Structure 1
Amino acid sequence: VDHPHGGGEGRTSGGRHPVTPWGKPTKGKRTRSNKSTDRFIVRSRHERKKG
């Protein structure tokens, strides 16, 4: 099992957010959804299509 930060060839590191060995974000990244605000979202701003 390899860590998501991985090895790479030579000196390469980073390029990715800090993650646990299972690929979940860590180090201050919010991983829980905010359940208190989704009752106010009637329609997503991004679901409108052009045309």
Structure 2
Amino acid sequence: MPLGTTIHNIEITLGRGGQLVRVVGAVAKLIAKERKSATLKLPSSLGRARSKCWLGKRPKVRGVVVNHVDHPHGGGEGRAPIGRKRTRNPLRLSCIWKKK
């Protein structure tokens, strides 16, 4: 194979099946060859959660999956509808638009 060839589905040990670069669109590039081994440039691993943290991205927790006391969309058995039936008033004051 000439240098610079793009490769996918790479075996680490002969006969064990492809173990590297198996996802759709991922390719490794052949950068050096020796007798029975080769050096490959593998695709970037920026898909890991730790490196997303290095980029300053924080995880987002959906409000539906937390408890009702933690988020207005949370709580309920199974899949509850999003939100409360009425406007929430944390100070328990009477609202003008509230049904009586």
TM-score by length of 2: 0.16
Q: Higher helix fraction: Structure 1 or Structure 2?
A: 2
Larger radius of gyration: 2
TM-score by length of 1: 0.22
Q: Higher strand fraction: Structure 1 or Structure 2?
A: 2
